[in-house]
Amino acid sequence: MSAHAFHPTVLREYDVRGIIDETLGADDARALGKAFGTKAVATGGKKIVVGYDGRVSSPALRDALVDGLRSTGVDVTDIGLGATPMTYYAMFELDADGCIMITGSHNPPNYNGFKMMMHKKPVFGEAIQELGAVAKAGDYATGKGGYEQVDVFDRYIDRLMKDFEGASFTVAWDPSNGSAGPAVAALAKRLPGKHYVINEEVDGTFPNHHADPTVEKNLEQLKALVREKGCDMGIAFDGDGDRIGAVDSEGRVVWGDQLLAILAGQLLKELPGAPIIADVKASQALYDRIAELGGQPVMWKTGHSLIKSKMVELSSPLAGEMSGHIFFKHKFYGHDDALYAAVRLLNAVADQGGSLKALKDGLPAAINTPELRFDCDDFRKFEVIKEVQKRLEAAGADMSTVDGVRVKTADGWWLLRASNTQAVLVARCEASSEAGLDRLKAELVAALTASGVEPPADL
């Protein structure tokens, strides 16, 4: 019944994440298992699914986590190595009471962490802090839970194919040596057309490039393959398969908000007037496009758990983030599955003329910065946002404070928010002209400088 204190930086807003052997280790995994199991037992939960990604540290964390869970009396179903969405899928498919995925997501190889669901809902915010409190008190449930290993891989691929509408394309795929590699390769084999898969071997050191498809330099291999093979498109995944990236036949990046606009183009034909959610980093062009298609655009906080909860609240069939998390409740379970999103993207492109390039060309060409991420101490980053917001309020700025500050001006908008997963501030600007973009950047620089933050070189 030993009490355990987590490092103050690892209990994040929507998952648990830290640096192996610095802020996170096997003792933390065991304590998390005990705390999670205690909460599960208290709310009538008995069966918990566990999966893990391809990081070098993941098997040891899995062993400790399972040990902690079973010590509270819950039964563990271990589905082994795979993508995060496969773990979510297993929870629904096997009708479990919760799941924990061991993954460092898109972070560097020395990171790892845990994404959790309880009673089919994401565990985030206050619920994560409560797990920390249970561990600190050391007041755990006790019992002797069972353990079984279940292979859901083939069922998962079958489920991905279930909603595929038969379109034939030539596609390049890059799972980035992440844990989705085998599933991406299996899916590509089942699809009609021609398919080329690179970096499908699971390698927790990510030898070919960093496993984050929202950073353009990580898509260079994919772009080269698209050009070399004359592909209709290229599709990339992050380290655990819950985020999608895409390029068109010319190798141009189709960003997360543009993908959501294309997916909405098909979905709103079937569900006119539906609410479609996007995070605060998305382009104004996306919100305008959803409205133009007859949908109801909703701007919400960044973060997979926060978006999932908002979807339930609004009965939204589709949501997405700039970071490439795409969530389908329409025909699916409402969680972020990049492989499923890829299948739906193939459907949507076929439904709207058959060319991803043409669909990208048809979207308004706003002038914007990429997502700018710059270091800021984990404790200081939220204070900076409060200071900036206070000064903007005093100046009477037109802004949204749904998540950080998103300021609207005659030129366009700029955003500043604190990341919930890393010690960074995140910024973005979008304008209708280069001169307007320069003015927005200058405003953002002034806001940062006034709080003593060194603006990134990109600004």
Which residues are part of the catalytic machinery?
A: 105
Length of the chain: 459
Cα(445)–Cα(388) distance, integer angstroms: 11
Alpha helices in 315-403 (DSSP H): 338-351, 356-361, 380-394
Report the SS3 class of residue 400.
Answer: strand
Query: 338-351 and 84-93 helices cross at what angle (nearest 10)?
Result: 90
> β-strand 326-328 against 318-320: which pairing, if any?
antiparallel
> Which residue has tokens 């304008």?
431
Sign of CA dihedral 257, 404, 242, 174: positive
Cα(344)–Cα(133) distance, integer angstroms: 41
Cα(193)–Cα(457) distance, integer angstroms: 43
> Which residue has tokens 């795929």?
173
What separation in angstroms does the CA of 373 have from each of 5, 11, 39, 242, 417?
29, 21, 35, 20, 10
Number of H helices, E strands in the chain: 14, 22
Cα(222)–Cα(363) distance, integer angstroms: 23
Q: Which two tokens stand for residue 417?
A: 């928010």
Dihedral in degrees, nearest 10, Cα atoms 345, 346, 347, 353 = 100
DSSP 337: -
Cα(106)–Cα(238) distance, integer angstroms: 6
- Neighbour-count burial for 37-66, b at 16+ CB within 10 Å, e otherwise: bbbbbeeebbbbbbbbbbbebbebbbebbb
Q: Which two tokens stand for residue 27?
A: 């003792």
Query: Are 412 and 283 in contact, with CB atoms under 8 Å apart?
Result: no
Cα(433)–Cα(368) distance, integer angstroms: 9
Q: Which two tokens stand for residue 352?
A: 């709207």
Sign of CA dihedral 227, 231, 237, 242: positive
